[in-house]
Amino acid sequence: MARTPSGAITAVLGPTNTGKTHLAIERMCAHSSGMIGFPLRLLAREVYDRVVAIKGAAQVGLITGEEKILPPQARWLLCTAESMPTDREVAFVALDEAQLAADPERGHVFTDRLLHARGRDETMILGSEALRPIVRSLVPEAEIVNRPRFSTLSYAGATKISRLPKRSAIVAFSAEEVYAVAEMLRRLRGGAAVVMGALSPRTRNAQVAMFQAGEVDYLVATDAIGMGLNMDVAHVAFASLRKFDGHRQRRLTVPEMAQIAGRAGRHQRDGSFGSVIAEGPGAFTPEEIAAIEGHHFPKLEAVYWREGSPDVASVAALIDSLEARPDHARLRAAPEALDLTVLKRLAEEDWVRDRARSPAMVARLWAACGVPDFRKVGIEPHARFVARLFAHLSEGTGHIPHDWFAAEIARLDNVQGDVEPLAGRIASARTWAYIAHRADWLADPAHWAERTRSIEERLSDALHTSLTQRFVDKRTTILMRQIGADVSALPVVVDATGEVLVEDHPIGRLDGFRFVVAPDARHADKKLLLAAAEKRLTGERARRGQALADVPDTALALIADPPAIDWNGITVATLAPGTALARPRVMLDRALDCLDRPLADAVRARLEAWVNVQIARRAGVLPRLEALASDAAASPGLRVVAAALTDAGGIAPRMPIADAIEALAPPERKRLRSAGITLGTLDLFDARLLKPAGARWRQALLAARDGTLSAALPPAGATVLPRAEIAGFRTIGAQAVRVDLAERIARAAHDARTGRTPFAPDPALATSMGVTAATFAKLMAQLGFRTAPAKDGTARWAWHGRPRVAPRPRVQPRPDNAFAALADWGRRGG
C-alpha cells in the first residue's frame, strides 16, 4: 500500500445499518484495484463472496490468517486487518470498523492501518461517530462524512426467552452460554442457529443460511454479529450484559451494546433490542437505553498504538521498539499483547538468543510469536508450542518437518464427536492453516494449505450437522407453528432452582431425580400438563444422570446416617453390606429408577469407582488386612490378627489377641507394619484411621456392614475426651485418650526406664496432651508399671511386666465370619 498522501481520504462515520461497508465495496469495485481490511475473518469471507459475484473469482483475493485465496491476477483483496499486505500498492484502500483502534487487544493493529494504510487514488476509513476526534487529530487531511441510520432502533423491554418474537437474535458472551440458550430454544421453540467468531466460515454460513431460509426462527450468537455480519434480524435480545475481555469479567460499554443491538433491523426495516432479564445487572439502565436509541456515545479520546515496523536488528532491539511509547497525545501505548508476551518468554532462553542473532532470524522469531492462540490454551502451553515451532524454523533448511506437520493434522482429521470436540479440532486446524499459509515455513506450503483447508471443511460440515442435531428439533418447530398444537408439546422449563414450569405455570419441583407435584397444581388440565412435564423431564433426568455418570470426584461426598453418597445436596446412593468390610455394595436411590438401564449401570459404576478410590485413599489398610487374612501362605496366627483387625475396622485392643500377637514371627510383624498397622503396647491401629476423613469412612463402612447408624465421631483434632466409648480412643479412668497418643506415652515411658530400676517419667508429654495426673497413673499401671517408694517424695515407677489381670471381653468375629474358627484356634493356643 502506498503511503503517499496524494489520494483523497474520506472518513465515513455513523452507527450501524448506515450502508458504510456497502459504500466501500461499491467504491472499491469502481477502481482498477483495491483492498478492504475487516475486523473478522467471517466478515472478510462474506464480502469476498459478494465481490467474486461482481468481478469473478480470478480477479478477487481473500487473505486472512488461516485462509489465503490469491489468484495470480487478483486485483481486489478482502482481508482481515492483521493480514493486509502492507507492501502492495492498490488504487483504493478501506479500513472497516476503525473504532476498534480503541480495543486493548487488537487496537494497535487498527491504529497502524489508520495511520499508514493508503490507496493510491482513494482511502476510506469506516467507523463509529465516536472516532471523529481521532480522525481529526491523526488524519487531519481526511474529509469526514456522517451517515445516518437507515432505520429506527428502539428498546422493546425485557422478554423471557420463551416469549421472544420470531427473527430474534439472542446474544451471549461465552460458548457455554450460547449452547445453553440454544438448547433452551430447542426445547421451547424448536431450535436455533448458532453463530460464533470461533466457527469456520463454512459452518457459520450454513448456520446463517438455515436462519435466513426460515428453517429456524432464532439465532444465538456471540458479540461477533456486532461486527457487520448481515442477517435478517428483527430483534436483538441480550442474555447478559457482561463479558470476559481476556482479563476480567466486566459490563459492556454503551458503544459495545449499540454495536450489537444495531444488528436489529435491515436497510429500511426498523429493529428493536432488549434483554431477557428485567432487573439487576442483566438489565439495561435508562441512560444506556437513551444513548443506544439516540446513537449518542462518548467520543474516543485516544487509541492504542504499537510500533508497526519494529527494529529487528536484535531481539533486544525488537522488544525495545515494541515497548516504545507513542509521541502523540491521541495515542496510548498498547497493553502487552500475546505475541509480545511470548517473545519475552522465548527471549529468556539461551538457545533462542543464540539462534536469533541476524535481523532475518529475529524477524523469523517475531513471525513465529505472531501465531494466534486459536485453541485458547493459555500463555504457557502456547509459548511452548511457539518455541518448538521456532526451533524447527531456525535449524536445517528452516522448514517445519513434514512428519510433525502431517501427524498433527492427521490427528485432527476426525469428524466423530459432539459440538465441543469438533469445535476444538477446528480451532487446532486454524493454527495449522495459519502456519501453512506462511510461504517460507514449509517445503510445500501449497499442498499443506489445501490439506488443512479440506480438513477444516470436513470438520465444519460435521460441526454444522452436530449443531443442527443438538439445537434444532424440526418436528417441534413445525408443531409450534401450528395453531392449537397438542398440549403435550407445550414448552416445559426446569429453572436453575429445580422448579418445573409449563407455559410459565409452576407445576412442581425436580429435586435431583424425584419430581414433586406442586400443591396448587390442581386444575382441569393437570393430567395433560403433567404428561408434558414427564415427557420433558425424561430428557432432563437423563441429562442429570449423564452428569452424574461423568461427575468428578470432588463433586461427591460421604454422608453418615445412614451411610450414603451425596451429589450437590442430593442422596444418590446408600452403602449396604457387601462381600467384605472394604467392599460395600452401592445401592442407587429409588429416585434414580427413572433412568434407563444402561445409564443407571453407568451411574452405579461411577459411584462404585468413587467409593473404591476413597476407601483406598482414606482407609486403605482395610483391604490390605482383608488380603492378609485370606492369604493361604500366611501363618494361622497372622490371619487371626488380620481377621480380628478387619472385623474391628482397623483399630483393636491388643489384650484379646495378645497370644496370637506374641506368637508372630518378626517377618509377620513386618507384614502388618507394611500394611500400615502400628503394633502398640495397648492397641493395634492404623493412625490414618484416626484422621477425620479416615475415621468417617471407617465408621461408615462398619455401619454399612452391620446395618446400623454410623457411630459418633470425635471432634476434629481432639486428643483427650471426657470418659466415653468412642472409636479410636482408649478409656482410662475419667478420660478417653486417643490410642496413638496413649502409645506415644507408652513408648516414652519404656524409652526412659532402665530395666526394672525405678525412674521418674517426664509428665510433660502427657500434660501437653491434656492427660490428668490421675489418668496418667492409671495408664502407667495398664502399661505394666508400679509405683516405687522414693525418699524425696517424687513419684517414681518401676517396670513389673504386663499385669496379669482378667482380659477384657474378646473381640468376637461375627458368627458368619470365615475367620471365627481361626480365632477359636488362637484362643486354644494353636
Characterise 801 by phi-psi region: left (phi > 0), alpha (psi -120 to 50), beta (else). Answer: left
CB atoms within 10 A of CB 616: 13
Q: What's the CA gap between 202 and 224, in Å, rounded?
A: 15
- The CATH architecture of the domain made up of 153-294 is 3-Layer(aba) Sandwich (3.40)
Confidence of residue 792 (pLDDT cuts 50, 70, 90): low
**Domain ranges, ordered by start, for the chain:** 8-146, 153-294, 486-549, 551-713+814-830, 724-799
231 or 40, which is more confident?
Answer: 40
Q: What is the mean pLDDT of residues 797-809?
A: 62
Confidence of residue 199 (pLDDT cuts 50, 70, 90): confident
Q: What is the mean pLDDT of residues 127-141?
A: 94
Q: Would the pLDDT of 48 be above 70?
A: yes
- Asked which of 20-24, 67-71, 681-685, 795-799 is least confident by mean pLDDT, the reply is 795-799
532 or 545, which is more confident?
Answer: 545
Q: Would the pLDDT of 810 be above 50?
A: no
pTM, full prediction: 0.57
Q: Would the pLDDT of 354 be above 70?
A: yes
Q: What's the CA gap between 769 and 760, in Å, rounded?
A: 19
| Mean pLDDT of the residues in the chain | 86
Q: What is the mean pLDDT of residues 374-379?
A: 87
Q: What's the CA gap between 275 and 158, in Å, rounded?
A: 5
Q: Would the pLDDT of 822 be above 50?
A: no
- Asked which of 169-173, 277-281, 773-777, 821-825 is least confident by mean pLDDT, the reply is 821-825
Q: Would the pLDDT of 574 be above 90?
A: yes
- The CATH architecture of the domain made up of 8-146 is 3-Layer(aba) Sandwich (3.40)
Q: Would the pLDDT of 824 be above 70?
A: no
CA torsion 50→54→56→62, rounded to 10°? -40
Confidence of residue 118 (pLDDT cuts 50, 70, 90): very high
- Give the CA distances from residue 242 to residues 150, 182, 397, in Å, rounded to whole numbers and listed in that order: 29, 19, 48
Spatial neighbors of 567 by CB under 8 A, at least 6 apart, are 512, 548, 551, 555, 556, 557
CB atoms within 10 A of CB 149: 17
**pLDDT number for residue 89:** 94
Of 733, 825, 723, give the one whose Cα is nearest residue 776. Answer: 733
**pLDDT number for residue 228:** 58
Q: Would the pLDDT of 814 be above 50?
A: yes
Domains 8-146 and 153-294 share a fold: yes
pLDDT tens column, 482-541: 333 444 455 677 777 777 776 566 667 788 888 777 665 444 345 545 565 666 678 888
Q: What's the CA gap between 367 and 346, in Å, rounded?
A: 13
Spatial neighbors of 164 by CB under 8 A, at least 6 apart, are 170, 218, 235, 237, 276
Q: What DSSP assignment string belongs to 4-51?
A: -TTSEEEEEE--SSS-HHHHHHHHHHTSSSEEEEES-HHHHHHHHHHH
